[in-house]
Amino acid sequence: MSEIKVLTPTCTLGYGFSTEGLERGMALNPDVIAVDAGSTDPGPYYLGSGETLVSEISIKKDLRQILLAARKANIPFIVGSAGGAGAKKHVDATVKLVREVAHELKLNFRLAWIYSDIEPNIVANAIRIGNVKDFESGTELTEDQALESSVIVAQMGHEPIVEALQNGADVIIAGRACDDSVIAAFPIYKNADPGLAIHMGKILECGAFSAEPHGTDVMLGRIDDTGFVLEPGSTTRRASLTSVAAHSLYERENPFLQYGPGHSVDLTDCSFDQISEREVRVEGSKFISDDDYWVKLEGVRLSGYRSISIAGIRCPSMIKRIDQILADVKAEALAYFDSDTLKITFLVYGRDGVMQELEPKKSEISKELCLIIDVVEKEQKVAHAAAHFISGTLLHCSFPGQFNTAGNLAFPYSPSEINVGPVYEFSAYHLMKIDHATEHFKTHFEEV
Amino acid sequence: MKTVPLSSLANVIRSKNAGPFLLTFDVLFNDKDIFSQVWESNAFAAENLAKLFGISANRIKSIYAMPKGNAIKFTLQRPRTQGSIGETDMYGCQQHSPLLDLPINLK
């Protein structure tokens, strides 16, 4: 097998890259451009709402440069977890942008897109026959929870992408996919060792985050029979032993054994070598195929509507009594609205807003606080009303030790209440057994 | 023997979600020798980490040393599921600060 070169332009499609990095990277003649476009990192909202994580403006900007480069070099371009959450709406939105760019730049190619949505009743059926299990959440998924979910996606492995490549696709927009697999798919298609390919994918998928200095920029990997070499596209960055090894353990609990669709990769015997000032070589990653093919499900349900109010507090007497004041107003609001489903939360920045129960320095309080009043309720109208009731009560309340009787809160905005909109929560994060690697992942083709 | 804060020894000290239920911390060193000394100092024992964050030791799910990467990693159960009501840090990336001052006893 001759060397296969993969170029990853950035950590997430839409976050951009340096022109110098891409130019230099393309000058090294990569065989494929592959990029991850999403994650559960930004939280459940994007999966539930169908909105793309990165703006369409930014995604399109990246697409223009990348599609041009890929077509000029006549190499495949693969996007995984399109639109951020990788459900049908996100895939469709990305495909629409690809068609627009192709039209504007007069590009022609064979386009493929792969959906990863799973109907809730399919998951419910799988639960009934014992094909769904928990691995990290601490509770088993029930049929009701599956059916309550508004959207569920499964993380595909490399196989559906390989199949699209086998069917001649030049540009592949895949729904939710295991990050490593998106990058590993082309090398595996060309017979690279899957353990090496997937480990390389794991590091490459974050772009130049595995480089020094780290950034949203181009990263290159070249894989041969016994290992792979990483280097950043831009000459202003380098791959170091620390930056590469560190990236193998990023966002995972176990640095040695890492699970993916239908497989795991054992990194226990990996070696990392600084082979030049800017390049690191990795060897020894081992692919272990599972007997059954399990995929990770990600599902969300609509849990209410949110309104918030943001206000600053500068008065020391108010700050000193803030806990009691907040407890009192919360109790008043709950009594006034008399609702089982009304949820009121306060974030107190300047004290423990960021770390909350993990904050070891709670007694260190700033001279000013930023208070966020967070209300979630079944109806937006009521959430808004409750948020305003609370901010109004806090603004006008009196308390012992008060000097300023004119108002207790410094609002930066009019209106003082902001409707954030629908709130989604994760309803499923479990493993489902499927018959084969491409079951449930439907692919469509089009000549653009 | 002297005691120094971890921030004077480590190159990277970070926290991040490992999925919606786990919070994982990575401490990376540029120097193999310093990494070994820190790991052997026992500063990363479960009871010590639990005390640092004011939680019970059984909330610490795992602690790993990765000598090839001069790295130490430990993972906690997140105080709440990512994105649920009361969330303070969606990416889990701003929970690392207590580690900066973690006292390390060096020989």
ipTM for the predicted complex comes to 0.93
Class of residue B20 by CB neighbours under 10 A (exposed 0-12, middle 13-18, buried 19+): buried
Tokens matching residue A135: 């691995």
Report the amino acid identity of residue A170.
Answer: D
Are A223 and A68 in contact by the 8 Å Cβ rule? The answer is no
Q: Does B34 contact A at CB distance below 8 Å?
A: no
d(CA A272, CA A249): 13
The pLDDT value given to residue A245: 82
Sequential pLDDT tens for chain A (448 residues): 789 999 999 999 999 999 999 999 999 999 999 999 999 999 999 999 999 999 999 999 999 999 999 999 999 999 999 999 999 999 999 999 999 999 999 999 999 999 999 999 999 999 999 999 999 999 999 999 999 999 999 999 999 999 999 999 999 999 999 999 999 999 999 999 999 999 999 999 999 999 999 999 999 999 999 999 999 999 999 999 888 888 888 888 999 999 999 999 999 999 999 999 999 999 999 999 999 999 999 999 999 999 999 999 999 999 999 999 999 999 999 999 999 999 999 999 999 999 999 999 989 999 999 999 999 999 999 999 999 999 999 999 999 999 999 999 999 999 999 999 999 999 999 999 999 999 999 999 999 9
Q: Does B86 contact A at CB distance below 8 Å?
A: yes
Helix, strand or coil, per DSSP, at residue A288: strand
Residues of chain A contacting B, Cβ within 8 Å: 40-45, 136-138, 241-242, 245-246, 248-256, 270-272, 303, 343, 345, 347, 353-358, 360, 374, 376, 423-426, 429
- pTM of structure: 0.95
d(CA A428, CA A359): 29
* Residue among A85, A141, A136 at smallest CA distance from A115: A85
Are A272 and B68 in contact by the 8 Å Cβ rule? The answer is yes
d(CA A281, CA A273): 5
* Residue among B86, B74, B25 at smallest CA distance from A352: B86
| Residue contact A44–B66, C-beta within 8 A | no
* Residue among A316, A278, A201, A217 at smallest CA distance from A17: A217
Residues of B in contact with A423 (CB under 8 A): 85
The pLDDT value given to residue A242: 83
Residues of B in contact with A43 (CB under 8 A): 82-83, 87, 90
Return the percentage of chain B with pLDDT > 90, whole number. Answer: 94
d(CA A244, CA A261): 23
Instruction: With cut-offs at 50, 70 and 90, classify the pLDDT of residue B84.
Output: very high
Of B26, B61, B87, the CB nearest to A246: B26
